[in-house]
A = this chain, B = another copy of it.
Amino acid sequence: MTGVTESRLWRRLMALAEIGAIPGGGVDRQALSEGEIAAWRLVVGWAREAGLEPATDPAGNLFLVLPGRDRAAAPVLAGSHLDTQPNGGRFDGAAGVLAALDALTDLAASGRVPARDCVAVAWMNEEGSRFAPGMMGSEAFCGVRGLDAIRAVRDADGTSVGDALDRLHAAVPDLPRRALGGPVAAYLELHIEQGPVLEAAGCSVGIVTGIQGKKTFSVWISGAEGHAGTLAMAERRDAVTAFARCAAALDAEIGAIDPAIRFTIGRVQVTPNAPSVIAGEVRFSIDLRHPDNAVLDAAGIRIAPLCRERAGPCAVAVTPLVDAPSNRFDPVLQARIARAAAECGLPAMPVLSAAGHDARHLAGLCPSAMIFIPCRGGISHAPAEWAEPDHVAAGATVLARVLADLAYAESLPLTDGAVR
């Protein structure tokens, strides 16, 4: 695809990546940060140029609305998120929001009014790095989690989601507020695969069949502080060495269950974290995923006993946070994506999502589907994250086609008959 890096979508992706840019081509634009507010302003400006109507809701989700003929009909949504990991990349989230905006910009320019509102959406705090766990915006929108509970979550500096949301809304006083939630006719999300399957197969489009199940936990190890030079080894209750034994055992046992398991300790916080003080406390995160819910449950159940066995003289408390079983996306929308790819001559294949996405929650509300594009080496959540311009264009083309089907259909949901 010649000239694809001169396309509006690619130029916008690169412009958005300047906000929160970090060395190595990465992006640090965490949820509800000044950077995300700046990203909103940029994206809202593009939406207004296209004649779309921006709005926000109490959960800090951003909506860019192309009005339809029947404003009372359930809208079609497409999007992803604008926040990144602290050491994140340029495509995770941004590609899905900007591809949806791009498709609506073309629909608006065509002058053909859709049957129902079509909305590009950016969900609040998908990543969950600053405020854990993530997907807060889609959870609140879909009624999975109450807004009060979400507003009470605090970041490492003690700032609450509630305060950060209020600052976000104060920073964009010109944006109309809409109520939280409401009926949705269908949801589409384009995203980088964050895995190696599509690249290895030479496919530019992945038809996502579902999302593997995920459990997360917070583990607290409680020992006793002491002087590194004086307290005898036998008398210590050292939280760091207890952590080391627990983590090594968990990784060896749970990480070896089968090749599809994913077990990660990504965050470790030691108190007081001083070189000559035996640590009194360690808190750490566990992220556990598997496509088979039975395996996931069996692995999750092993965590607390394994920690207790290895913690020696320290106490252990394991708190479950996220418990999201595997889900399957709408088969009719999957078929529609496959047909759109075939019509464009783009090689496509079914693929399971190993990562979680906001589409998991939307799938409980309405027919939903995801389109994956390859990313280099399967790398994401890192500055080296990269999607080829022609893969971005391919995914956006398929998204635009399916979105147009949904925009102009006489009635929704789409039926099998309409596809085959």
What is the interface of chain A, defined by CB distance below 8 A to chain B? Answer: 85-87, 127-129, 132-134, 193-195, 212, 214, 216, 225-234, 238, 240-241, 243-248, 251, 255-256, 259, 261-280, 285, 287, 289, 354-356, 378-382
Question: Closest B-chain residue to A251, C-beta based?
Answer: B241
Contact A381 B225 (CB under 8 A): yes
Residues A216 and B275 in contact in the complex (CB < 8 Å), given A248-B241, A289-B229:
yes
Cα–Cα, bound, A309→B278 (Å): 25
Cα–Cα, bound, A132→B277 (Å): 13
Cα–Cα, bound, A279→B287 (Å): 12
Residues A381 and B227 in contact in the complex (CB < 8 Å), given A255-B233, A270-B267:
yes
- In the complex, how many angstroms separate the beta carbon of A114 from the nearest chain B beta carbon? 34
From B195, B266, B279, give the contact of A275 (CB < 8 A): B266
Cα–Cα, bound, A234→B241 (Å): 25
Cα–Cα, bound, A231→B266 (Å): 13
A227: chain B residues at CB < 8 Å are: 194-195, 354-355, 378-381
Q: Which of A216, A261, A277 has most chain B Cβ within 10 Å?
A: A277
Cα–Cα, bound, A420→B284 (Å): 59
Cα–Cα, bound, A279→B266 (Å): 6
A194: chain B residues at CB < 8 Å are: 227, 229-230
Contact A354 B229 (CB under 8 A): yes
A230: chain B residues at CB < 8 Å are: 193-195, 262, 354-355, 378, 380
Question: Closest B-chain residue to A197, C-beta based?
Answer: B230
Contact A277 B355 (CB under 8 A): no
From B232, B244, B287, give the contact of A244 (CB < 8 A): B244
Question: Closest B-chain residue to A216, C-beta based?
Answer: B275
A275: chain B residues at CB < 8 Å are: 128-129, 132-133, 216, 264, 266-267, 285, 287
List 8 extra interface pairs beyond A238-B265, A243-B247, A280-B382, CB under 8 A.
Answer: A87-B280, A128-B276, A227-B379, A227-B380, A230-B355, A244-B246, A244-B248, A267-B273
Cα–Cα, bound, A147→B9 (Å): 56
From B129, B255, B278, B381, give the contact of A264 (CB < 8 A): B278
Cα–Cα, bound, A267→B267 (Å): 14
Q: List 18 A-B contacts (CB under 8 A).
A: A85-B272, A85-B274, A87-B271, A87-B272, A128-B276, A194-B227, A194-B229, A228-B381, A229-B355, A230-B380, A231-B378, A241-B247, A243-B247, A244-B246, A244-B247, A264-B277, A266-B276, A266-B278
- In the complex, how many angstroms separate the beta carbon of A395 from the nearest chain B beta carbon? 17
Contact A86 B266 (CB under 8 A): no
Contact B240 A266 (CB under 8 A): yes
Q: Which of A132, A233, A274, A356 has most chain B Cβ within 10 Å?
A: A274
Cα–Cα, bound, A71→B212 (Å): 80
A255: chain B residues at CB < 8 Å are: 233, 241
Residues A273 and B279 in contact in the complex (CB < 8 Å), given A227-B355, A229-B356, A262-B233:
no
Contact A233 B247 (CB under 8 A): no
A380: chain B residues at CB < 8 Å are: 226-227, 230
- In the complex, how many angstroms separate the beta carbon of A96 from the nearest chain B beta carbon? 16
A264: chain B residues at CB < 8 Å are: 228, 238, 275-278
Contact A231 B85 (CB under 8 A): no
Cα–Cα, bound, A384→B269 (Å): 22
Question: Closest B-chain residue to A285, C-beta based?
Answer: B275
Residues A382 and B225 in contact in the complex (CB < 8 Å), given A266-B279, A267-B275, A272-B86:
yes
A289: chain B residues at CB < 8 Å are: 228-229
Q: Which of A248, A259, A266, A278 has most chain B Cβ within 10 Å?
A: A266
Contact B287 A229 (CB under 8 A): yes
